[in-house]
Amino acid sequence: MKYLIQVTIILVITFLGEVLYKLLPLPIPASIYGLLILLAGLMTGIIKIEQVKPSGSFLLDIMPVMFVPAGVGLMDIWGNVSSMILPLMFISLFTTVLVMAATGKTSDYILMKGRGKNK
């Protein structure tokens, strides 16, 4: 019963993200709205981490399985994509390096800011 309640909380937040996506004319995916709603709920204490952590951990554990349909879909359209493979690989490599650099700089900033507070 505990897991059913936790998954229901996550699904309701996901649904609210979908509703916001339909209502707001911004180019932001519904999943990001859902993540922001969950973050706001956790930060304000409306949602306690214990209310979603076990189910969230389970969903993270099975996340690789969720990529199987995408891989099958890619194999299905391979004829259309194969002519663009080099640009797609370049874009994927470039954006991966960009995200890694941005994450590293953000982490450095947060760590430096945290050290300043401790002094």
Task: State the average pLDDT for the chain.
Answer: 91
| Whole-number pLDDT of residue 14 | 95
Distance between CA 15 and CA 1 in Å, rounded?
Answer: 21
| Tokens standing for residue 83 | 């002519």
Is 14:55 a contact under the CB 8 Å cutoff? no
- Please report the pLDDT score of residue 117 as a whole number: 67
pLDDT cut 90: percent of the chain above it: 70
Q: Residue 105 contacts by C-beta under 8 Å, 6 or more apart in sequence?
A: none
Q: In whole angstroms, what is the distance from residue 49 CA to residue 41 CA?
A: 10
What mean pLDDT comes out for the span 38-58? 93
Would you state the structure tokens that stand for residue 80, as one six-digit string?
Answer: 């259309």
Residues 29 and 21 sit within 8 Å (Cβ to Cβ): yes
User: What 3-state class would DSSP assign to 111?
Assistant: helix
pLDDT digits (tens, 9 = 90+) for 52-103: 999 999 999 999 998 899 889 888 888 888 889 899 899 999 999 999 999 9
State pLDDT tens for residues 10-26. 999 999 999 999 999 89
